[in-house]
Amino acid sequence: MKHIISLLMENESGALSRVAGLFSARAYNIESLTVAPTEDATLSRMTIVTSGSEEVIEQIIKQLNKLVDVVKVLDLNDGRYIERELMLVKVKATGIFRDEMKRMCDIFRGRIIDVADGSYTIEVTGSSSKLDAFLEALDKSAILETVRTGASGIGRGDRILKV
């Protein structure tokens, strides 16, 4: 099952490689990983999307906690959470595609952020599955390029991950 794991770690050089190395060394799946500093410059927040059996997820959480630089780990799937990912898609915008792409963009509440003679660049935000759905809905031959940030997650309401 897919899990979204959030963690806070010391904002030190090499911290990212410790997490990435752990996943490859122990053969854990990693679907996406995003990391950036928080409002506290000494801390980085990371969101890892992974999948595995309950036993594997339990081991992943324990192994992450064991890393000396990791301050806190939270499995967002243990409660209610919100997930957002940002995607930029460059699509063909010639002939019939020019109107079609604008319509699809509106349906998915995306924004066209760059317009060129033959293409649009569309920005879409949402859960990873919504972004998947958007790509599914587009004519494959119209997609020129995609780039996704990987999911970020945060607990709902009072669920707060903070030091």
Partner 1 sequence: MEDRSSPHSHQISGAEILIRCLQEEKVKFVFGYPGGAVLHIYDEIFKQDAFKHILVRHEQAAVHAADAFARATGEVGVALVTSGPGATNAITGIATAYMDSIPLVVISGQVPAPAIGMDAFQEVDMVGITRPCVKHNFLVKDVKDIAATIKKAFYIAATGRPGPVVVDIPKDITAHFAKFEYPASVEMRSYTPIMKGHSGQIKKAVKLLLEAKRPMIYTGGGVVLGNAAEELVQLARKLGYPVTNTLMGLGGYPSTDNQFLGMLGMHGTYEANMAMQNCDVLLAVGARFDDRVIGNPGHFFSKDRTIIHVDVDPSSISKRVKIDVPIVGHVKSVLAEMNELLIAETKAPDAGEIKSWWQQIDTWREKKSLVYKNSTDVIKPQYVIEKLWEVTKGDAYVTSDVGQHQMWAAQYYKFDKPRRWINSGGLGTMGVGLPYAMGCQLANPTAQVACITGEGSIQMNIQELSTCHQFRLPIKVILLNNRYLGMVRQWQEFFYENRYSESYMDSLPDFVKLAESYGHVGMNIVNPADVEGALKGAFDMKDRFVFMNFITDQTENVFPMVPNGKGLSEMILAGEE
Interface ranges with partner 1 (CB under 8 A):
9-10, 13-14, 17-18, 21, 25, 55, 58-59, 62-63, 65-66, 68-71, 163
Closest separation in Å from C-beta 4 to partner 1 = 20
- Cα–Cα nearest to 120, from 150, 83, 88, 162: 88
Residue number, 29 or 125, with CB nearest to partner 1: 29
How many whole angstroms from its chain centre is CA 139? 24
Q: Give dist(CA 161, CA 8) in Å, integer.
A: 8
Closest separation in Å from C-beta 68 to partner 1 = 4
56 CB-contact burial (10 Å; exposed 0-12 / middle 13-18 / buried 19+): middle
Residue number, 65 or 129, with CB nearest to partner 1: 65
Residue number, 17 or 141, with CB nearest to partner 1: 17
Q: Give dist(CA 101, CA 112) in Å, integer.
A: 9
Closest separation in Å from C-beta 147 to partner 1 = 28
Q: Give dist(CA 21, CA 27) in Å, integer.
A: 10
Closest separation in Å from C-beta 119 to partner 1 = 39
